[in-house]
Amino acid sequence: MTKSTFATSPQPSAPHTASTTGAASPSAWLDTPHERTVYDDLGIRIDRDGIWYYHGSPIRRKELLCLFASSLQRDAEGRYWLITPHEMGPIEVEDAPFIAVELFVGGQGCERMLSFRTNVDEIVTVDEQHPLWVVIDPVSHEPSPYVALPGRREARLTRAVFYELVALGEEREDSGRTHLGVWSSGQFFSLGSVDG
């Protein structure tokens, strides 16, 4: 059975200790049995291009980036946290923390499977749990395409990868509008309306 999906969406600061059940603890949403040291600021920022910074200096070692990325989680309020078994702290994310830099295509038509590789070598296949969607800037009308990753995280597609995706697109009617979109895992994901 197929289904259509249409979418337009220096040292850390002084620590304190909070359990996963504490009302004031941001770790309440984590499934962990022990206490963590919670920092208010780790000095880590990820810019719109997916570049990680530590106190203003870019982190260039990919091995370190992959290690940090494996510890990155997002809470129900949309905040990103760097989490280790014993410590955690929030990080600033300008847009999406990761960039989808490569597209893999298997199959044809509604049986097609689309997968992306991120800039930290994480692979995700587009499906119901990991949808693809496009946000249109209301001023510039430029599209920003995203794919969902496990743990409430997101990756934004590079322009080149998005163009590859558009080349695979086909038109489909929904609620009186024509959408350009792609199939993956038996679902149709809209890249936008072609009606203007």
Distance CA 167, CA 184 (A): 14
- pTM tops 0.85, yes or no: no
Q: Which of 94, 48, 55, 98 is nearest to 73 (CA)?
A: 98
**Three-class secondary structure of residue 164 per DSSP:** helix
79 forms beta bridges with none
Beta strands, E only, 1-86: 3-5, 16-18, 36-38, 44-46, 52-54, 57-58, 72-74, 80-83
**pLDDT tens digits, one per residue of 58-110:** 999 999 999 999 999 998 889 999 998 888 999 999 999 999 999 999 999 88
